[in-house]
């Protein structure tokens, strides 16, 4: 009997509490748990989700989206991590939470040589960072200076044409196929362009041993910056640098910095010479030099060197990579190649070189550049951000010191934003107002918000002029052993996203005579 009474009592208690349970469930559905984080795969103790990722984290994150949605939560070792993978989530981040996520989470490798302390890209958001940002945006990359430097860009691109012509001539003498590896030539061109803007002179040529040394050091710096590092996942290991990533970075970055330093020795701290009527960016930096006194408006000599180095890193590696991807996509898509050449022939006069002023008349070329940056953003996860404070984001709780990746590679493949997102179709941009200025969140190769790439306007000019010149001056073909369908498009991940196998193609000089093409 006692058992029956107990059963009856429990049943009555449950029935009495049932309305309360319903109310609690309703409230949970409305407000959720106060510390509810975005969805993501279960994490192992200590290592978290490290084993869910391979050598291409942007691709691995993308593969997790169908299961977990556009906002992904991971524990990478002991580090809280949020990944943004849709245009809608990116719009929420940059429009409504940009300030809360304006800091950087700095990889241990980029603390080598105290690089992060002088860097614009990796620096802590604050007074010094704002000073450097203002300097770059108002002195180096301001619209007037970019307009005034058109001749410099055209000269550097013409030198690239000369290098390719020299390769054609030597290959004919030696009986070679005449293939060129575009990545190296494009890097050297971009490097000289930045050199002219910053230091008023060419710095490298094909016969320069120092140029090859710098090119190799740059590749190594990018490799170490993009190398997965256990110390970034388990911060207590940073003092030990277990895989010597920081040590190797310090070595190769030191080589690069020494080369830049040697370029500066001739300049010293002298004032403008009578032959030099325009300031370059180094002149401006030296005006801000602190003579050993660091402050919001003063820059130490070491940090001047870091800023210059960063401009070369950013201006050379990213630009050359984007042009290489564009050329690869056009070689894979002969119909797109035909369309862009037809457009060039309708705008450029026969036997005339491409001018920067022609670019506004080339909408299909502009569409090719946009489509390339959609599929092949040079920094696929942008530079990782860091939450400055506990933040409520899209109904989720994001704790302070969460690292945030914006997977623009995945956003460029967002099926909610793009029709047939995996195909190369420049036509999708014809008649469209979508641009990469940071206001259209489905296309963010340069980022958005406070930390949008300061060099976007310059990159825009260089990408279009260089690509148009390569296509107007030469016909390009693949080696006989490679077809458009078999061209290897595999990626290699560093800080920038490059082709795993550098693009090699054969140029043939084009000459227009009476509207007929002669090769």
Pseudo-torsion of CA 440, 441, 442, 446, nearest 10°?
A: 90
Q: Please give the backbone phi and psi of residue 397, each rounded to the nearest 5 degrees, phi first.
A: -95, 120
CB–CB of 436/127 below 8 Å?
A: no
Give the per-residue pLDDT at 515: 47
- Give exposure, 492-509, as e/b (b: 16+ Cβ within 10 Å): bbbbbbbbeeebebbbee
162 a known binding residue?
A: no
Report CA 342 to chain centroid distance, whole Å: 30
List Cβ neighbours of 164 (8 Å cut-off, separation of 6 or more). Answer: 180, 185, 473, 474, 507
**pLDDT reading at 295 higher than 50:** yes
List Cβ neighbours of 443 (8 Å cut-off, separation of 6 or more). Answer: 370, 373, 374, 411, 412, 434, 435, 436
Helices (H), 100-149: 115-118, 127-135, 143-148
Lowest average pLDDT, out of 34-43, 62-71, 80-89, 429-438, goes to 34-43
Give the per-residue pLDDT at 113: 93
Give the per-residue pLDDT at 208: 65
Q: What is residue 39's DSSP assignment?
A: P
Band (516; pLDDT cuts 50, 70, 90): very low
* Fold annotation for 33-518: Cytochrome p450 (1.10.630)
Lowest average pLDDT, out of 78-87, 181-190, 492-501, goes to 492-501
Give the per-residue pLDDT at 19: 54
Q: What is the pLDDT of residues 106-151, one digit of tens each?
A: 999 999 999 999 999 999 998 889 988 988 888 778 888 889 899 9
Residues 467-494 have a mean pLDDT of: 93
Give the per-residue pLDDT at 284: 80
Give the per-residue pLDDT at 11: 46
**pLDDT reading at 355 higher than 90:** yes
Residues 280-298 have a mean pLDDT of: 71
Band (411; pLDDT cuts 50, 70, 90): very high
**pLDDT reading at 91 higher than 60:** yes
DSSP letters for 44-105: BTTTBTGGG--S-HHHHHHHHHHHH-SEEEEEETTEEEEEE-SHHHHHHHHHHSTTTT-EE-
List Cβ neighbours of 39 (8 Å cut-off, separation of 6 or more). Answer: 68, 69, 71, 72, 73
**pLDDT reading at 59 higher than 50:** yes
The Cα angle at residue 174 between residues 173 and 176, in degrees rounded to 5: 115
Residue 415 CA to residue 86 CA, distance in Å, equals: 9
Q: What is the pLDDT of residues 96-114, one digit of tens each?
A: 999 999 999 999 999 999 9
Helix (H) or strand (E) holding 477: strand 474-477
Give the per-residue pLDDT at 177: 75
CB–CB of 380/59 below 8 Å?
A: no
- Per the DSSP assignment, residues forming a β-bridge with 492 are 498
Residue 437 CA to residue 242 CA, distance in Å, equals: 40
Q: What is the pLDDT of residues 413-425, one digit of tens each?
A: 999 999 999 999 9
Q: What is the pLDDT of residues 377-408, one digit of tens each?
A: 999 999 999 999 999 999 999 999 999 999 99
Pairing of strands 511-513, 516-518: antiparallel
Position with higher pLDDT, 95 vs 351? 95
Give the per-residue pLDDT at 327: 98
The token pair that represents 491 in the structure block:
């990626």
Angle of helix 334-347 relative to helix 456-473, nearest 10 degrees, comes to: 90
Q: What is the mean pLDDT of the chain?
A: 86
Give the per-residue pLDDT at 402: 97
Band (227; pLDDT cuts 50, 70, 90): confident
Give the per-residue pLDDT at 174: 72
Lowest average pLDDT, out of 14-28, 384-398, 420-434, goes to 14-28
- Give exposure, 367-383, as e/b (b: 16+ Cβ within 10 Å): bbbbbbbbbbbbbbbbb
Give the per-residue pLDDT at 519: 44
Residues 271-298 have a mean pLDDT of: 65
Give the per-residue pLDDT at 283: 80
Q: Report which of 65, 107, 121, 41 is spatially closest to residue 306, judged by C-alpha positions.
A: 121
* Domain boundaries, given as residue ranges, for the chain: 1-32, 33-518
**pLDDT reading at 513 higher than 70:** no
Give the per-residue pLDDT at 7: 39
Lowest average pLDDT, out of 62-66, 237-241, 270-274, 367-371, goes to 270-274
Band (265; pLDDT cuts 50, 70, 90): confident
Lowest average pLDDT, out of 131-140, 219-228, 368-377, 497-506, goes to 219-228
């Amino acid at each position: 009997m006692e058992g029956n009474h107990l059963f009856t009592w429990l049943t009555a208690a449950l029935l009495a509490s049932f309305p309360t349970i319903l109310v609690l469930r309703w409230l949970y559905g409305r407000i959720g748990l106060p510390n509810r984080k975005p969805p993501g795969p279960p994490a192992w103790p200590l290592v978290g989700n490290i084993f869910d990722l391979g050598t291409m984290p942007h691709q691995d994150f993308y593969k997790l989206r169908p299961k977990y949605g556009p906002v992904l939560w991971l524990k990478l070792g002991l580090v809280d991590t949020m990944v943004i993978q849709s245009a809608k989530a990116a719009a929420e981040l940059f429009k409504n939470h940009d300030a809360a996520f304006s800091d950087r989470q700095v990889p241990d490798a980029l603390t080598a040589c105290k690089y992060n302390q002088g860097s614009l890209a990796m620096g802590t958001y604050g007074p010094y960072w704002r000073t450097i940002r203002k300097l770059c945006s108002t002195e180096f990359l301001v619209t007037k200076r970019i307009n005034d430097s058109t001749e410099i860009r055209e000269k550097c691109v013409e030198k690239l044409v000369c290098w390719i012509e020299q390769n054609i001539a030597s290959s004919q003498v030696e009986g070679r196929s005449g293939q060129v590896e575009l990545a190296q030539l494009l890097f050297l061109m971009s490097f000289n362009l930045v050199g002219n803007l910053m230091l008023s002179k060419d710095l490298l040529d094909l016969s320069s041993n120092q140029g090859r040394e710098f090119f190799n050091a740059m590749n190594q710096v990018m490799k170490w910056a993009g190398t997965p590092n256990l110390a970034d996942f388990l911060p207590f290991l940073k003092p030990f640098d277990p895989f010597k990533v920081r040590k190797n970075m310090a070595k190769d970055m030191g080589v690069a910095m020494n080369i830049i330093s040697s370029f500066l020795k001739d300049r010293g701290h002298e004032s403008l010479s009578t032959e030099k009527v325009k300031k370059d960016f180094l002149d401006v930096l030296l005006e801000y030099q602190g003579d050993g006194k660091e402050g919001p408006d003063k820059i130490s000599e070491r940090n001047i060197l870091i800023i210059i180095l960063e401009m070369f890193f950013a201006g050379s590696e990213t630009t050359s990579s984007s042009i290489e991807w564009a050329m690869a996509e056009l070689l894979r898509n002969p119909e797109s190649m035909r369309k862009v050449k037809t457009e060039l022939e309708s705008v450029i006069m026969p036997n005339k070189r491409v001018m920067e002023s022609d670019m506004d008349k080339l909408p299909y070329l502009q569409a090719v550049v946009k489509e390339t940056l959609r599929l092949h953003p040079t920094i696929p996860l942008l530079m990782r951000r860091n939450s400055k404070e506990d933040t409520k984001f899209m109904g989720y709780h994001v704790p302070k010191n969460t690292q945030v990746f914006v997977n623009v590679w995945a956003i460029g493949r967002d099926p909610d934003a793009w029709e047939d997102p995996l195909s190369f179709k420049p036509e999708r941009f014809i008649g469209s107002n979508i641009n990469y200025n940071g206001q259209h969140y489905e296309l963010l190769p340069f980022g958005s918000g406070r930390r949008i790439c300061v060099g976007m306007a310059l990159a825009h000019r260089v990408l279009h002029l260089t690509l148009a010149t390569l296509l107007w001056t030469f016909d390009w073909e693949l080696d006989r052993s490679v077809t458009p369908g078999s061209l290897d498009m595999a990626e290699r991940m560093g800080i920038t996203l490059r082709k795993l196998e550098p693009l090699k193609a054969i140029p043939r000089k084009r000459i227009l005579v009476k509207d007929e093409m002669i090769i």
